[in-house]
Amino acid sequence: MDLELAAIVPLIPDLPFDELDRTRRTMADLIEGLPTDLTGTIVEDRIAPGDPDVPVRIFTPERRGTEPVPAVLDIHGGGFAIGTVALDDGSNADLVRETGFVVVSVGYRLAPEHPFPAPAQDCYTALRWLVDNADDLGVDPGRIAVLGDSSGGGLAATTVLLARDRGGPAVAMQVLIEPELDDRLDTPSMLAGAETVGWNNVQAVLSWRHYLGGAGADAYAAPARMADLAGLPPTYLTVNELDCLRDEGLEYARRLLAAGVSTELHCWPGAFHGFATLVPTAAISVRANATLHDALRRGLGAAARHDTDVFCSPNVHYRPDGVEHVPS
């Protein structure tokens, strides 16, 4: 395991999925303790009208021009059952500062009180709202990414599948961070993941039980079951070496590529599930976040930054500190 990440493992609280009331309180405390720097962003809570209404949290850059900017629909994680929109406050503000994009984060309903399809419907409602209100939000509706982390990654994959199969809205990019995609839980990494840090197969079993609510999984509940992945937008997908979700993420990336979907994949070595959220200051987290922001800028066609100007010819030096991706 990465040494900086290993140092905090003893501090990660237990999040058992069989005692959700207590675990949600623990999660709220954990979110409270995460570094959250909102500098440079305007944060506003609104309601996306629907059946039912869906709360959304909007992050806008404080300083922006008059041109419409790309937007990211963010779907937080938490095993479908324990997260809140606040979990991503820090990463969303960071994303806005680094890219100048608008972020709309979805406060979807949680399982088991609201099993599938409720959480997925809420995410799709929020996506429609974002597109329908693009003008008002100063967003270019042709440059929208759907991003999710963990169970949010699964919901992001579902939302993008719904957009494909219901004829819209158009999504320019999907971003699946350490996604939870497969209820079958039979990959080698999942079978070996009884005690993996950050997420394990005991939590995974219960997470899917809560989310499916006793029903069988269809391909919109568990995108790994979707037979046809053709026609999905360009994809940025990450997995972590020491994550029980690793192999389902790799398999999804492999299948996207086989279906002709442009896909960039990063497997972060020595990393456990949730590392970039739990230890955002570790060097590997800084690299992971900078790589993500760079991919979003490339994928959504924002003005290029000049931080890759480190390689001109074989005789030109890279930055002497050897770190190419530190956000400035």
**Alpha-carbon torsion (197, 107, 80, 179), positive or negative:** negative
The span from the CA of 114 to the CA of 133, in Å, is 27
Instruction: State both tokens at 215.
Output: 């029903």
Nearer to other proteins, 92 or 240 (CB): 240
Nearer to other proteins, 82 or 244 (CB): 244
**Of the residues 262, 301, 326, 327, which one makes contact with other proteins according to CB under 8 A:** 262
* CB-side neighbour CA atoms (13 Å) of 213: 13
Q: Residue 279 interacts with other proteins (CB under 8 A)?
A: no
**Of the residues 92, 150, 201, 263, which one makes contact with other proteins according to CB under 8 A:** 263
Pattern of binders to other proteins over 218-257, x per CB under 8 A?
----------------x------x----xx--x--xx--x
Q: Residue 266 interacts with other proteins (CB under 8 A)?
A: yes
- Rounded to whole angstroms, the maximal C-alpha distance in the chain is 62
DSSP classification of residue 59? E
Is 309 catalytic? The answer is no
CA 88 to chain centroid: 9
Q: Residue 108 interacts with other proteins (CB under 8 A)?
A: no
Nearer to other proteins, 37 or 262 (CB): 262
Catalytic residue among 91, 105, 150, 285: 150
**Measured from the CB of residue 13, what is the shortest distance to other proteins in angstroms?**
26
Is 74 catalytic? The answer is no
Is 243 catalytic? The answer is yes
**Measured from the CB of residue 320, what is the shortest distance to other proteins in angstroms?**
10
**C-alpha pair distances (Å), 39 with each of 42, 43, 64, 139, 301:** 8, 10, 14, 21, 24
Instruction: State both tokens at 146.
Output: 């759907």
Instruction: State both tokens at 10.
Output: 């003893």
**Measured from the CB of residue 216, what is the shortest distance to other proteins in angstroms?**
28
Nearer to other proteins, 41 or 174 (CB): 174
**Alpha-carbon torsion (19, 21, 27, 29), positive or negative:** negative
Pattern of binders to other proteins over 284-303, x per CB under 8 A?
---x------x---x-----
**Measured from the CB of residue 210, what is the shortest distance to other proteins in angstroms?**
28
> Using H for helix, E for strand and C for coil, what is the string for 108-119?
CCCCCCCCCCHH
Q: Residue 4 interacts with other proteins (CB under 8 A)?
A: no
Q: Are 273 and 240 in contact (CB under 8 A)?
A: yes
Catalytic residue among 122, 149, 243, 294: 243
* CB-side neighbour CA atoms (13 Å) of 51: 0
**C-alpha pair distances (Å), 326 with each of 71, 290, 308:** 22, 6, 11
Q: Residue 312 interacts with other proteins (CB under 8 A)?
A: yes
Catalytic residue among 114, 210, 273, 293: 273
Closest CA to 179 of 132, 209, 135, 146: 146
Q: Which residues bind other proteins (CB under 8 A)?
A: 188-189, 192, 234, 241, 246-247, 250, 253-254, 257-258, 260, 262-270, 287, 294, 298, 304, 308, 310-315, 317-318, 322-325
Residues annotated catalytic, as ranges: 150, 243, 273
